[in-house]
Structure 1
Amino acid sequence: MALSRVQINAKSEAKRGIKVKSFKLHESTIAHIEQISQQTGISQSRLITQAIEMLGKHYQVTAKSVTPLP
Structure 2
Amino acid sequence: MEATVFNPIQVHLLKMFEIDKSQKGLEELKNLLYNYYSSKMKSALDALWDSGELDQTRLDEINDMDLHKL
Q: Which has the higher contact order (CA 8 A, sep 6+)?
A: 1
| Alignment TM-score > 0.5, same fold | no
More helix per residue: 2
Of structures 1 and 2, the larger Rg is shown by 2
With normalisation by structure 2, the TM-score equals 0.29
TM-score, L = length of structure 1: 0.29
